């Protein structure tokens, strides 16, 4: 089972407003509401792909009760720690005419170290049935910046594998706990590296440095430049797929879901990057984040072309995993969905 940790969940409400401009009164053409926050987007993708998953984190107030009820309706298992305050509300305004997206995000309830210690005990009680733990999203106000470092360290000491997707000081601080996979986007990688990554080559250099820092996989989503994956075995690049994107919110979360699936099944780097890229493409076709279609994911995976950029020789890699090939072969041989 995969356990997702969302410390700062939300109600994600999406308004579709063709031709949206500031300073006017608008009536939404379409309104959708889903349990949100990056970790719950990951959870929803995993559940859709048939993977056993459980969600945890903090919930509060009326909004928190709505999130829990909505997860139950989706048949998603959850076990949250309840805190004072109110779970946040985040708004996304999608303008399909101009292909513009505007996001308005609340901060969430203010917590403290007491809640962190309470959550550490709660998390420990959920690890027996979990093989992989995914940490995604921002920290609630008041939690120490070392929160993810502490939690990742706890999980790894328990012998479980970890995926980390956050940003800023919380991200930088957690790296010394050696998460198995980190997945920054370009802006998050630049903030950590302290230099711009204007090309794929720049991103590869920064990702390799990040990989050496953690010892695991460093996966970077680069938007129109695709994605790169660095491991101790080498470096891979998947060019972006040509997708008629409706909404790019949640594409990174869909990638994280694919990487977590790869960890559960002990898949190799090529297969992981293939599946993650296909999931992101499917997410982009939907108005809300964290929504994919398994049939579309399979079709997109056939179109992914993962290029080995450098590292161990092709002969050494073939001895480990068999001859690599195009996305269609990756999907058939590597990217099958497990119920683990």
> Annotated catalytic sites, by residue?
253
Residue 66 zone, left/alpha/beta (φ > 0; ψ -120 to 50; rest): alpha
Closest CA to 281 of 242, 253, 236: 242
Angle at 121 between CA 9 and CA 68, to 5 degrees: 30
Closest CA to 338 of 134, 46, 118: 46
Distance CA 338, CA 181 (A): 19
Helix-strand-coil split of the chain, %, nearest 5: 40, 25, 35
Question: In this structure, how many other beta carbons lie within 10 angstroms of the beta carbon of residue 182?
Answer: 30
Q: Give the torsion through C-alpha atoms of 313, 317, 323, 324, to 10 deg.
A: -90
Length of the chain: 340
Question: In this structure, how many other beta carbons lie within 10 angstroms of the beta carbon of residue 160?
Answer: 18
């Amino acid at each position: 089972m995969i356990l997702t940790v969302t410390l700062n969940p939300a109600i994600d409400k999406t308004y579709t407003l063709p031709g949206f401009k500031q300073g006017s009164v608008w009536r939404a053409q379409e309104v959708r509401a889903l349990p949100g926050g990056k970790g719950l987007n990951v959870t929803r993708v995993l559940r859709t792909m048939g993977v056993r998953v459980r969600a945890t984190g903090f919930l509060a107030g009326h909004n928190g009760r709505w999130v829990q009820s909505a997860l139950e309706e989706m048949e998603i298992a959850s076990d949250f720690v309840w805190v004072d305050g109110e779970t946040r509300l985040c708004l996304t305004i999608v303008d399909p005419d101009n292909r513009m997206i505007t996001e308005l995000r609340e901060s969430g309830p203010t917590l403290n170290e007491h809640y962190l210690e309470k959550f550490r005990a709660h998390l420990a009680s959920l690890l027996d049935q979990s093989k992989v733990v995914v940490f995604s999203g921002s920290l609630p106000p008041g939690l120490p910046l070392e929160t993810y470092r502490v939690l990742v360290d706890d999980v790894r000491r328990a012998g479980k594998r970890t995926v980390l997707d956050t940003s800023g000081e919380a991200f930088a601080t957690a790296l010394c706990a050696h998460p198995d996979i980190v997945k920054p986007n370009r802006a998050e990688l630049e903030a950590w590296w302290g230099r711009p990554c204007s090309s794929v080559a720049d991103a590869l250099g920064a990702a390799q440095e990040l990989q050496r820092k953690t010892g695991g996989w460093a996966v970077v989503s680069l938007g129109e430049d695709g994605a790169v994956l660095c491991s101790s075995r080498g470096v891979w690049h998947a060019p972006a797929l040509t997708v008629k994107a409706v909404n790019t919110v949640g594409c990174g979360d869909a990638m994280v879901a694919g990487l977590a699936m790869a960890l559960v099944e002990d898949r190799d780097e090529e297969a992981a990057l293939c599946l993650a890229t296909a999931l992101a493409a499917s997410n982009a076709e939907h108005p809300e984040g964290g929504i994919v279609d398994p049939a579309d994911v399979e079709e997109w995976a056939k179109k992914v072309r993962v290029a080995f950029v450098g590292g161990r020789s092709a002969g050494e890699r073939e001895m480990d995993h068999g001859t690599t090939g195009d996305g269609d072969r990756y999907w058939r041989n590597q990217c099958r969905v497990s119920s683990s």
